[in-house]
Amino acid sequence: MDFTHGRVPPERQLRVFLNFGEHGRELITSDVAARLLRLLAGGPAAAARLSGGGVAAERALRRSVFKVVPLENVGGRAKVESGELCLRKNGRGVDTNRNWDVHWGFKEKDYDPYEEAAGARPFSEPEALLLRDTLQAWRPHAWVNVHSGMRALFVPFDHVAAVPTGPKGDALSAILQQLKRVHCPDCVIGSGGAQVGYLAHGTATDYVYLNLSVPVAMTWEIYGDLMATRDDCFRMFNPLGRTEYEQVVSSWAAACAALPGVLALHPDVPQPGPGEQGGEVEFQGLRARLGRRTPAAMGAAAGGARAWGSASWAAGSVALLAGVAAASYASGRRMRRRGTAQSSVEENEKQSV
Tens of pLDDT, residues 91-100? 999 999 999 9
Average pLDDT of the chain is 80
* CATH (one of 3.20.20.140, 3.40.630.10, 3.30.70.1450, 3.20.20.110) for 13-352: 3.40.630.10
> Is 258 within 8 Å of 179 (Cβ atoms)?
yes
Task: Select the more confidently predicted residue: 318 or 217.
Answer: 217
Distances (CA, A) of 57 to 8, 15, 34, 264: 16, 15, 21, 11
Distances (CA, A) of 277 to 17, 59, 62: 22, 7, 7
Confidence grade of residue 332 (pLDDT, cut at 50, 70, 90)? low
Q: Which of 287, 218, 285 is nearest to 258 (CA)?
A: 218
**The overall pTM is greater than 0.85:** no
Look at residue 22 in the predicted model and tell me its pLDDT: 98
* Dihedral, 168, 202, 159, 69 alpha carbons, nearest 10: 50
- Which residues neighbour 217 within 8 Å (Cβ) at sequence distance 6 or greater? 142, 143, 155, 156, 205, 206, 208, 209
Q: What sign has the CA pseudo-torsion 132, 254, 15, 319?
A: positive
> Is 328 within 8 Å of 78 (Cβ atoms)?
no
Please count the other Cβ atoms lying within 10 Å of the Cβ belonging to residue 225: 18
Look at residue 314 in the predicted model and tell me its pLDDT: 35
> Is 147 within 8 Å of 221 (Cβ atoms)?
yes
Q: Tens of pLDDT along 31-62?
A: 999 999 999 988 888 999 988 888 888 989 98
Q: Tens of pLDDT along 125-173?
A: 999 999 999 999 999 999 999 999 999 999 999 999 999 999 999 999 9
Report the alpha-carbon distance of residue 295 to residue 317 in Å, rounded.
10
Give me the amino acid identity at 70: P
Look at residue 184 in the predicted model and tell me its pLDDT: 96
- C-alpha 342, offset from chain centre: 30
Task: Select the more confidently predicted residue: 339 or 183.
Answer: 183
Beta strand segments in 176-328, E: 188-191, 216-223
Look at residue 335 in the predicted model and tell me its pLDDT: 57
Give, in degrees to the nearest 5, the angle at Cα 255 between 147 and 10: 100
Report the alpha-carbon distance of residue 223 to residue 226 in Å, rounded.
10
Task: Select the more confidently predicted residue: 108 or 321.
Answer: 108
Structure letter (DSSP) for residue 215: S
Look at residue 274 in the predicted model and tell me its pLDDT: 65
> Is 287 within 8 Å of 296 (Cβ atoms)?
no
Confidence grade of residue 333 (pLDDT, cut at 50, 70, 90)? low
